[in-house]
Structure 1
Amino acid sequence: MKTITVKTLLKMKESGQRIAMMTAYDYPTAKLLDQAGLHVLLIGDSLGMVVQGNATTVPVTLDDIVYHTRMVVRGAEHPLIVSDMPFLTTHGAHEDVLAKAGRLMQEGGAHAVKIEGGKELAPVVARLVAAGIPVMGHIGLMPQTVHALGGFSVQGRTVEAAERMLEDARALEAAGAFAIVLEMVPAEVAEWISGSLRIPTIGIGAGAGCDGQVLVFHDAMGFTSGYIPKHNKAYATLADTIVSAARNYVQEVTDGFFPSEAQTVHLKAEELDKLNSSAAQGD
């Protein structure tokens, strides 16, 4: 597998090849997903929910993203590494935003950043791109504004809302974004927007008409329990496997079966004799 770049994704859209993207938050996960052939790994602020246990992504800090990006970069050789700009880091003076995005590149090692927001953030995108920082946009449902939206709900359900979303997408493209995530958008709207852009779209809960798809690792691998979003598909049941394995461990420890001889190291005979002699003298 060749190393994926921003240009690779553009060529994939042009040739009709679908883009596979998934979140990753640590070294072992990144290494495995690299081996699996993922094109893009996203250090998403979703880590606030699936790793930190928060109710939303809002508490995630820039330091959190930098920290997790470092681990992912160590484990992934081929995918494009994209890091989320967390809550409020894209607001304020453009030079401040530039410095924060720069940390994700310099300290974290990310190849690109992802920004939530539409045409109001186009000037920010243009400033980052001009400085050499590739930017992935994100419109539709934007988890960082969940409190303002009143919950995690589908966006773009009316023609007027869909047209505004297309305006946002075009503004981001014009500002230099290399791709755009469409989250929780009716399939027909997402396909319409995807066909209207030169850059690729990455859908999550946006139907099959996007140029690629992204899922949260913990959801896709069956690592979580409780409410599962409609758009998610669990490709494994790791939670069940881990609980079962941990129960077996507890049982073997309490029953005295672990460690067995296979997991035990012994002294050589002469050293054992010396130890027994020393112990006897101590008594």
Structure 2
Amino acid sequence: MSATGRSTAMTPPRVTAAKGRTPLVCLTAYTTPMARLADAHCDVVLVGDSVGMVLHGLPSTLGVTLDMMVMHGKAVRRGLQFALMVVDMPFGSYEESPAQAYRSAARLMAETGCGAVKLEGGEIMAETIAFLTRRGIPVMAHVGLTPQAVNAFGGYALQGSGNDGERIRRDAAAVSEAGAFAVVLEKIPEPLARRITQEIAVPTIGIGASPACDGQILVTEDLLGLFGDFRPKFVKRYAELGGQAEQAIAAYAQEVRARHFPAPDHVFGDAPATGVADNA
């Protein structure tokens, strides 16, 4: 057990047992240092395919590959002791058939040591979720706004408004009944997310959904304020590290150009107090 009483082998059934109790704390991580920071406070750490946009500068998640998810999954695994690690299945790695999904999921679990995988889609993915869970692969589902289908949606628009809410309800019910141990609800109306949370038997993880969800997830870099021009409504920024980082880099550049860095304290052996080379 950890100092907080959390098991060091947190499994999907324990996540499922959190239904209706203290909300689950979930964040993304793509690197070992960030995983270590999140591990002390989170129940679930997701190696999200958002890594493509956050770390690789891609315009969407569609260019993320299975190899990329394996690489970042291995890095995150090295930084975790307590949190359940979930790895996203990237676009094109599971939609073709349940057999394709199994091969991809089995590789992710074997090579990264993750405890579960996450895939996007509702009713259309129920058969695949059932296929995976029957074969020992825990699945976190994802409905509502599913970023891998952004082109079909015509952008990152709110999903489930008006009569479209019934589609989201059916999707959530289908993946829950198929065996998913939790369901991410992304960017849907608050009343709809609240209703789905009451209706399905497994925990809901909200992002732009409702405080009534059984847990919440954000992209860690968003809550840290690392991207000054990205401010979606559903993100609360707990810090403004992007601005602080820019100021620090600017101060470093100024000191290097003025020959104030490195100072005598930062070099080995005796050096002139000015730090200027003899032939400068």
Q: TM-score, normalised by structure 2?
A: 0.91
Q: CA deviation at 1:89?
A: 1.4
Residue number in structure 2 paired with 1:80 = 84
Residue number in structure 2 paired with 1:272 = none
Instruction: Structure 2 unaligned segments of length 5 or more: list them.
Output: 271-280
Identity of matched residues, % = 42
Residue number in structure 2 paired with 1:103 = 107
Structure 1 residues 18-167: aligned runs within 5 Å = 18-35=23-40, 37-158=41-162, 160-167=163-170
Residue number in structure 1 paired with 2:11 = 5
Instruction: Structure 1 unaligned segments of length 5 or more: list them.
Output: 268-283
Q: Deviations over 1:5-53 (max 9, x none)?
A: 2122122224x21011111000000011112x11111111111111111
Q: Deviations over 1:141-185 (max 9, x none)?
A: 010010111000011101x32222111111111111000000000
Q: Structure 1 residues 91-100 or 80-89, which shifts more?
A: 91-100
Q: 2:39 & 2:244 partners in 1: Cα distance?
A: 22
Q: 2:244 & 2:167 partners in 1: Cα distance?
A: 45
Q: Is contact 2:228–2:243 with CA below 8 Å preserved after alignment?
A: no
Q: TM-score, normalised by structure 1?
A: 0.90
Q: 2:260 & 2:11 partners in 1: Cα distance?
A: 51
Q: Deviations over 1:76-124 (max 9, x none)?
A: 1111101111112121232221010111101122110001000111110
SS of residue in 2 equivalent to 1:13 = coil
Q: Deviations over 1:201-230 (max 9, x none)?
A: 000000212111100111111011213111
Q: CA deviation at 1:61?
A: 0.7
Amino acid at match of 2:127: P
Q: 1:149 & 1:196 partners in 2: Cα distance?
A: 25
Residue number in structure 2 paired with 1:219 = 222
Residue number in structure 1 paired with 2:273 = none
Aligned-CA RMSD value: 1.2
Report which of the two has the higher share of helix.
1
Q: Structure 1 residues 198-207 or 83-92, which shifts more?
A: 83-92
Residue number in structure 1 paired with 2:256 = 253
Q: 2:97 & 2:160 partners in 1: Cα distance?
A: 30
Structure 1 residues 164-179: aligned runs within 5 Å = 164-179=167-182
Residue number in structure 2 paired with 1:17 = 22
Q: 2:243 & 2:113 partners in 1: Cα distance?
A: 34
SS of residue in 2 equivalent to 1:58 = helix
Amino acid at match of 1:7: P
Q: 2:182 & 2:138 partners in 1: Cα distance?
A: 9
